[in-house]
Protein backbone atom coordinates (compact mmCIF):
# COMPACT_ATOMS: atom_id res chain seq x y z
CA UNK A 1 0.00 0.00 0.00
CA UNK A 2 1.42 3.47 -0.92
CA UNK A 3 2.76 5.54 1.97
CA UNK A 4 0.23 8.35 1.53
CA UNK A 5 -2.65 5.81 1.51
CA UNK A 6 -1.33 4.32 4.75
CA UNK A 7 -1.12 7.77 6.33
CA UNK A 8 -4.63 8.59 5.17
CA UNK A 9 -6.11 5.34 6.51
CA UNK A 10 -4.39 5.99 9.83
CA UNK A 11 -5.77 9.53 9.83
CA UNK A 12 -2.25 10.89 10.28
CA UNK A 13 -1.81 14.62 9.67
CA UNK A 14 1.11 16.02 7.72
CA UNK A 15 2.24 19.62 8.12
CA UNK A 16 3.00 21.52 4.93
CA UNK A 17 3.90 25.16 4.21
CA UNK A 18 0.93 27.50 4.37
CA UNK A 19 1.59 28.89 0.90
CA UNK A 20 1.06 25.40 -0.50
CA UNK A 21 -2.27 24.80 1.25
CA UNK A 22 -4.36 24.16 -1.85
CA UNK A 23 -7.83 23.01 -0.71
CA UNK A 24 -6.49 22.73 2.84
CA UNK A 25 -7.55 24.12 6.17
CA UNK A 26 -5.07 25.47 8.68
CA UNK A 27 -2.08 24.15 6.76
CA UNK A 28 -2.71 20.47 7.61
CA UNK A 29 -3.54 17.47 5.45
CA UNK A 30 -6.05 14.83 6.60
CA UNK A 31 -7.08 11.56 4.91
CA UNK A 32 -9.39 13.52 2.59
CA UNK A 33 -6.50 15.37 1.03
CA UNK A 34 -3.67 12.84 0.67
CA UNK A 35 -3.88 12.97 -3.12
CA UNK A 36 -3.53 16.77 -3.08
CA UNK A 37 -0.40 16.43 -0.94
CA UNK A 38 1.08 13.93 -3.37
CA UNK A 39 0.44 16.25 -6.31
CA UNK A 40 1.96 19.20 -4.48
CA UNK A 41 5.08 17.28 -3.54
CA UNK A 42 5.54 15.88 -7.02
CA UNK A 43 5.14 19.35 -8.56
CA UNK A 44 7.86 20.68 -6.26
CA UNK A 45 5.72 22.89 -4.04
CA UNK A 46 7.99 22.97 -1.01
CA UNK A 47 9.59 25.61 1.11
CA UNK A 48 13.04 24.18 0.63
CA UNK A 49 13.03 24.54 -3.14
CA UNK A 50 12.38 28.28 -3.14
CA UNK A 51 14.09 29.41 0.03
CA UNK A 52 17.22 30.59 -1.81
CA UNK A 53 15.42 32.49 -4.58
CA UNK A 54 16.08 36.25 -4.50
CA UNK A 55 14.23 39.16 -6.07
CA UNK A 56 16.25 42.29 -6.81
CA UNK A 57 14.58 45.66 -7.25
CA UNK A 58 16.33 47.89 -9.76
CA UNK A 59 15.23 51.52 -10.10
CA UNK A 60 16.15 52.47 -13.65
CA UNK A 61 15.68 55.40 -16.02
CA UNK A 62 12.73 54.99 -18.37
CA UNK A 63 15.00 55.21 -21.41
CA UNK A 64 16.61 51.90 -20.40
CA UNK A 65 13.37 49.93 -20.49
CA UNK A 66 13.77 48.01 -23.74
CA UNK A 67 17.46 47.24 -23.32
CA UNK A 68 16.98 46.05 -19.74
CA UNK A 69 14.07 43.81 -20.74
CA UNK A 70 16.38 41.93 -23.08
CA UNK A 71 19.18 41.90 -20.51
CA UNK A 72 16.76 40.55 -17.90
CA UNK A 73 15.84 37.63 -20.12
CA UNK A 74 19.50 36.70 -20.67
CA UNK A 75 20.48 37.25 -17.02
CA UNK A 76 17.68 35.19 -15.49
CA UNK A 77 18.47 32.26 -17.79
CA UNK A 78 22.04 32.32 -16.51
CA UNK A 79 21.06 32.99 -12.88
CA UNK A 80 17.66 31.28 -12.38
CA UNK A 81 17.70 31.89 -8.62
CA UNK A 82 17.69 35.66 -9.09
CA UNK A 83 14.57 37.46 -10.32
CA UNK A 84 14.83 41.07 -11.46
CA UNK A 85 12.07 43.59 -10.79
CA UNK A 86 12.47 46.94 -12.56
CA UNK A 87 11.00 50.21 -11.33
CA UNK A 88 11.22 52.51 -14.37
CA UNK A 89 10.75 56.25 -14.24
CA UNK A 90 12.40 59.65 -14.45
CA UNK A 91 15.77 59.61 -12.70
CA UNK A 92 14.80 62.56 -10.51
CA UNK A 93 11.67 60.79 -9.29
CA UNK A 94 13.60 57.57 -8.67
CA UNK A 95 16.20 59.52 -6.73
CA UNK A 96 13.51 60.98 -4.49
CA UNK A 97 12.01 57.55 -3.86
CA UNK A 98 15.39 56.23 -2.75
CA UNK A 99 16.08 59.21 -0.49
CA UNK A 100 12.66 58.68 1.09
CA UNK A 101 13.52 55.08 1.95
CA UNK A 102 12.16 53.01 -0.94
CA UNK A 103 13.49 49.41 -0.78
CA UNK A 104 15.82 49.37 -3.78
CA UNK A 105 18.84 47.16 -4.48
CA UNK A 106 20.39 49.03 -7.45
CA UNK A 107 19.95 52.48 -8.99
CA UNK A 108 20.56 52.92 -12.76
CA UNK A 109 20.26 56.65 -13.47
CA UNK A 110 20.22 58.66 -16.68
CA UNK A 111 21.86 61.62 -14.98
CA UNK A 112 25.04 61.95 -12.95
CA UNK A 113 23.68 64.73 -10.74
CA UNK A 114 20.67 62.67 -9.59
CA UNK A 115 22.95 59.72 -8.92
CA UNK A 116 25.49 61.93 -7.13
CA UNK A 117 22.78 63.11 -4.73
CA UNK A 118 22.11 59.52 -3.71
CA UNK A 119 25.83 58.93 -3.19
CA UNK A 120 26.20 62.20 -1.26
CA UNK A 121 23.34 61.27 1.06
CA UNK A 122 25.13 58.03 1.92
CA UNK A 123 22.86 55.55 0.16
CA UNK A 124 25.53 54.29 -2.25
CA UNK A 125 29.29 53.84 -1.76
CA UNK A 126 31.34 55.33 -4.57
CA UNK A 127 33.30 52.07 -4.79
CA UNK A 128 30.04 50.28 -5.66
CA UNK A 129 29.21 52.64 -8.53
CA UNK A 130 30.28 52.92 -12.15
CA UNK A 131 29.52 55.19 -15.13
CA UNK A 132 28.28 52.58 -17.57
CA UNK A 133 26.91 54.05 -20.82
CA UNK A 134 26.19 57.30 -22.63
CA UNK A 135 23.45 58.65 -24.91
CA UNK A 136 22.59 61.46 -27.36
CA UNK A 137 19.67 63.82 -27.93
CA UNK A 138 17.65 64.14 -31.16
CA UNK A 139 14.66 66.07 -32.48
CA UNK A 140 11.76 63.86 -33.60
CA UNK A 141 8.43 64.26 -35.37
CA UNK A 142 5.67 61.88 -36.36
CA UNK A 143 6.31 60.06 -39.62
CA UNK A 144 3.05 61.56 -40.83
CA UNK A 145 4.46 65.07 -40.49
CA UNK A 146 6.34 66.41 -43.53
CA UNK A 147 7.59 69.61 -41.88
CA UNK A 148 11.34 70.13 -42.31
CA UNK A 149 13.56 70.66 -39.29
CA UNK A 150 17.24 70.66 -40.19
CA UNK A 151 18.59 72.25 -37.03
CA UNK A 152 17.55 73.22 -33.51
CA UNK A 153 16.99 76.80 -34.62
CA UNK A 154 14.17 75.63 -36.89
CA UNK A 155 12.07 74.68 -33.87
CA UNK A 156 11.33 78.36 -33.33
CA UNK A 157 9.53 78.40 -36.69
CA UNK A 158 7.05 75.64 -35.83
CA UNK A 159 3.38 76.47 -35.36
CA UNK A 160 2.70 73.51 -33.08
CA UNK A 161 3.85 72.50 -29.63
CA UNK A 162 7.17 70.97 -28.65
CA UNK A 163 7.48 68.40 -25.89
CA UNK A 164 10.40 67.83 -23.53
CA UNK A 165 10.68 66.12 -20.17
CA UNK A 166 10.14 68.23 -17.06
CA UNK A 167 13.68 69.61 -16.55
CA UNK A 168 13.60 69.42 -12.75
CA UNK A 169 13.00 65.67 -12.65
CA UNK A 170 13.66 64.32 -16.15
CA UNK A 171 17.32 64.37 -17.25
CA UNK A 172 16.34 64.33 -20.94
CA UNK A 173 14.26 67.43 -20.30
CA UNK A 174 17.18 69.14 -18.59
CA UNK A 175 19.46 68.36 -21.52
CA UNK A 176 16.82 69.54 -24.00
CA UNK A 177 16.32 72.85 -22.21
CA UNK A 178 20.09 73.38 -22.01
CA UNK A 179 20.40 72.84 -25.76
CA UNK A 180 17.49 75.17 -26.59
CA UNK A 181 19.00 77.86 -24.38
CA UNK A 182 22.48 77.47 -25.82
CA UNK A 183 21.33 77.73 -29.44
CA UNK A 184 19.31 80.82 -28.49
CA UNK A 185 15.73 79.69 -29.12
CA UNK A 186 14.44 78.85 -25.64
CA UNK A 187 12.62 82.20 -25.21
CA UNK A 188 11.00 81.73 -28.63
CA UNK A 189 9.66 78.24 -27.93
CA UNK A 190 9.07 78.27 -24.16
CA UNK A 191 5.39 79.21 -24.44
CA UNK A 192 4.81 76.26 -26.78
CA UNK A 193 6.55 73.66 -24.66
CA UNK A 194 4.54 70.73 -23.28
CA UNK A 195 6.28 69.03 -20.37
CA UNK A 196 6.22 65.26 -19.86
CA UNK A 197 6.82 63.05 -16.83
CA UNK A 198 9.58 61.10 -18.61
CA UNK A 199 11.18 60.70 -22.02
CA UNK A 200 8.80 57.90 -23.02
CA UNK A 201 5.84 60.21 -22.55
CA UNK A 202 7.49 62.76 -24.84
CA UNK A 203 7.79 60.03 -27.46
CA UNK A 204 4.12 59.11 -27.01
CA UNK A 205 3.01 62.73 -27.44
CA UNK A 206 4.90 62.88 -30.75
CA UNK A 207 3.66 59.49 -31.96
CA UNK A 208 0.03 60.37 -31.30
CA UNK A 209 0.27 63.84 -32.84
CA UNK A 210 -0.47 65.66 -29.59
CA UNK A 211 2.64 67.76 -30.22
CA UNK A 212 4.45 68.62 -33.43
CA UNK A 213 7.97 67.82 -32.26
CA UNK A 214 9.85 66.42 -29.31
CA UNK A 215 13.41 66.18 -28.04
CA UNK A 216 14.29 62.70 -26.81
CA UNK A 217 17.20 60.34 -26.42
CA UNK A 218 18.44 58.80 -29.64
CA UNK A 219 17.87 55.35 -28.10
CA UNK A 220 14.16 56.05 -27.59
CA UNK A 221 13.70 57.41 -31.09
CA UNK A 222 15.38 54.33 -32.53
CA UNK A 223 12.83 51.90 -31.08
CA UNK A 224 9.74 53.76 -32.30
CA UNK A 225 8.16 52.79 -35.61
CA UNK A 226 6.09 55.97 -35.69
CA UNK A 227 8.61 58.80 -35.43
CA UNK A 228 11.38 60.17 -37.63
CA UNK A 229 14.63 61.75 -36.49
CA UNK A 230 14.88 65.18 -38.08
CA UNK A 231 18.00 66.53 -36.43
CA UNK A 232 20.70 65.51 -34.00
CA UNK A 233 21.14 67.95 -31.13
CA UNK A 234 24.77 69.18 -31.13
CA UNK A 235 26.52 67.54 -28.17
CA UNK A 236 28.35 70.78 -27.40
CA UNK A 237 25.02 72.40 -26.46
CA UNK A 238 24.21 70.20 -23.46
CA UNK A 239 25.93 68.36 -20.62
CA UNK A 240 27.39 64.93 -21.29
CA UNK A 241 24.77 62.22 -20.89
CA UNK A 242 26.15 59.60 -18.51
CA UNK A 243 24.24 56.63 -17.07
CA UNK A 244 25.77 55.54 -13.74
CA UNK A 245 24.69 52.46 -11.81
CA UNK A 246 25.33 51.58 -8.19
CA UNK A 247 24.43 49.16 -5.41
CA UNK A 248 22.40 50.55 -2.52
CA UNK A 249 24.01 50.14 0.90
CA UNK A 250 20.67 49.02 2.31
CA UNK A 251 20.23 46.05 0.00
CA UNK A 252 19.35 42.81 1.76
CA UNK A 253 20.96 40.85 -1.04
CA UNK A 254 24.46 42.31 -1.52
CA UNK A 255 25.93 39.24 -3.21
CA UNK A 256 23.13 38.95 -5.76
CA UNK A 257 23.14 42.72 -6.34
CA UNK A 258 26.88 42.53 -6.99
CA UNK A 259 26.28 39.69 -9.44
CA UNK A 260 23.88 41.78 -11.54
CA UNK A 261 26.05 44.90 -11.17
CA UNK A 262 29.03 43.04 -12.61
CA UNK A 263 26.89 41.31 -15.25
CA UNK A 264 25.86 44.71 -16.64
CA UNK A 265 29.52 45.56 -17.13
CA UNK A 266 30.19 42.35 -19.03
CA UNK A 267 30.34 41.90 -22.79
CA UNK A 268 26.94 40.22 -23.16
CA UNK A 269 25.00 43.03 -21.43
CA UNK A 270 27.10 45.72 -23.10
CA UNK A 271 26.37 44.27 -26.55
CA UNK A 272 22.65 44.55 -25.81
CA UNK A 273 22.97 48.13 -24.57
CA UNK A 274 24.94 49.10 -27.66
CA UNK A 275 22.36 47.40 -29.87
CA UNK A 276 19.78 49.82 -28.48
CA UNK A 277 22.03 52.79 -29.22
CA UNK A 278 23.81 53.38 -25.92
CA UNK A 279 27.48 54.28 -26.03
CA UNK A 280 30.03 52.28 -24.07
CA UNK A 281 32.08 54.28 -21.56
CA UNK A 282 35.34 53.55 -19.86
CA UNK A 283 34.93 52.41 -16.26
CA UNK A 284 35.63 55.00 -13.64
CA UNK A 285 35.32 55.15 -9.90
| Interior/surface letters 8-41, b for 16+ CB within 10 angstroms, e for the rest | beeeeeeebeeebbeebeeeebeeebbebbeebe
Cβ within 8 Å of residue 196, ≥6 positions away: 163, 164, 165, 166, 170, 173, 202, 205
Residues 6 or more apart from 266 whose CB is under 8 A from it?
Answer: none
**For the CA atoms of the chain, what is the radius of gyration?**
25
pLDDT of residue 264 exceeding 80: yes
pLDDT of 122 higher than 70? yes
Which of 269, 241, 282 has the alpha carbon at shortest distance from 112?
241
- Local confidence band at 281 (pLDDT 50, 70, 90 cut-offs): confident
Number of Cβ atoms within 10 Å of the Cβ of 157: 12
Residues 241-270, mean pLDDT to the nearest whole number:
97
Q: With a cut of 80, say whether residue 283 has pLDDT above it.
A: no
Tell me how crowded residue 195 is: count the other CB atoms within 10 A of its CB. Answer: 16
Residue 154: the pLDDT is 93
Q: Which of 68, 42, 39 is nearest to 56 (CA)?
A: 68
Residue 235's pLDDT is 93
Buried b (16+ CB within 10 A) or exposed e, 56-85: bbbbbbbbbbbbbeebbeebeeeeeebebe
Confidence at residue 247, expressed as pLDDT on a 0 to 100 scale: 98
Q: What is the mean pLDDT of residues 254-269?
A: 97
- The pLDDT confidence band at residue 282, using thresholds 50, 70 and 90, is low
pLDDT exceeds 70 at position 200: yes
Say if pTM beats, i.e. exceeds, 0.75: no
Q: What is the pLDDT of residues 157-193, one digit of tens each?
A: 998 999 999 999 999 999 999 999 999 999 999 999 9
> Distance (Å, rounded) from C-alpha 248 to C-alpha 254?
9
Q: What is the pLDDT of residue 196?
A: 96
More confident of the two residues 51 and 157: 157
- pLDDT at res. 87: 97
Residue 230: pLDDT band (50, 70, 90) is very high
What confidence tier does 207 reach under pLDDT thresholds 50, 70, 90? very high
For residue 149, the model assigns a pLDDT of 87
pLDDT at 223 (0 to 100): 87
**Greater confidence, 48 or 100?**
100
Mean pLDDT of the chain: 85
Amino acid sequence: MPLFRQLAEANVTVSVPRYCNVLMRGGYVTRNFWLVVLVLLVSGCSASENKDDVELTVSAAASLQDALAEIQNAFEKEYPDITLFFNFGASGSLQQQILQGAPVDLFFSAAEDKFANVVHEGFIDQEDAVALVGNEMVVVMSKNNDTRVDAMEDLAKLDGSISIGTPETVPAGKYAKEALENVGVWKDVESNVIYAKDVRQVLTYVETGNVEAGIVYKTDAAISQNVQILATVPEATYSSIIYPIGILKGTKHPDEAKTFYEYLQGDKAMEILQKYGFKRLEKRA
